[in-house]
């Protein structure tokens, strides 16, 4: 298990352990009312205190860059096939990145509490292979997170990619 401390402007590359085509972000101690809400964007699903990112690979390591920001980026970063954002409630300035069996892979500390927006960027999901981990792999992810005054509506900013369309039909 790794511990990461993010401050404004920092970006850390982590390795998420994908299982069953997903990896999970959770704010410890937050309730779960619905174990699998329908995906609104073909990229994520979840509730206020937890969400999963739907990966193209089924099992194994996947590079994920996690960036903490003081505020929202001015623009959507170019070159990503799908970009979505959603709210995430973090009451204790800590969240965890877990496997589907709820094994904690990383604990992440941030300098703010309360509502945050997470913008999830993906590319290469159709390759079904992780970049830097499998020959010919193209899949990689970037998550940007910043504090928000209140819960924001989920929105699909770019895409969905071909892979994500299957979750929307």
Average pLDDT of each block of 10 consecutive residues along the chain (169 residues)? 90 94 94 90 96 95 96 95 97 94 93 98 90 87 98 95 88
CATH class of 2-161: mainly beta
Burial of residue 79 (CB within 10 Å: 0-12, 13-18, 19+) is exposed
Distance CA 159, CA 80 (A): 9
Cis peptide before 160 (omega within 30 of 0): yes
Distance CA 103, CA 143 (A): 20
SS3 165: helix
The domain spans of the chain are 2-161
Model pLDDT, residue 1: 64
- Report pTM: 0.94
Model pLDDT, residue 130: 83
């Amino acid at each position: 298990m790794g511990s990461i401390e993010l401050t404004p402007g920092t970006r850390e590359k982590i390795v998420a352990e994908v299982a069953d085509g997903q990896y999970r972000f959770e704010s410890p101690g937050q309730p779960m009312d619905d174990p699998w809400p329908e995906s609104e964007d073909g990229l994520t699903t979840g509730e206020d205190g937890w969400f999963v990112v739907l990966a193209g690979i089924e099992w194994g390591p996947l590079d994920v860059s996690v960036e903490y920001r003081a505020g929202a980026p001015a623009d959507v970063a170019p070159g990503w096939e799908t970009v979505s954002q959603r709210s995430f409630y973090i009451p204790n300035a800590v969240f965890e990145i877990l496997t589907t069996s709820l094994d904690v892979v990383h604990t992440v500390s941030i300098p703010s509490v309360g509502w945050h927006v997470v913008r999830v960027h993906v590319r290469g999901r159709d390759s079904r292979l992780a970049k830097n981990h499998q020959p010919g792999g193209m899949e990689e992810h970037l998550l940007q997170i910043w504090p928000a005054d209140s819960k924001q509506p989920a929105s699909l900013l770019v895409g969905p990619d071909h892979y994500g369309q299957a979750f929307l039909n």
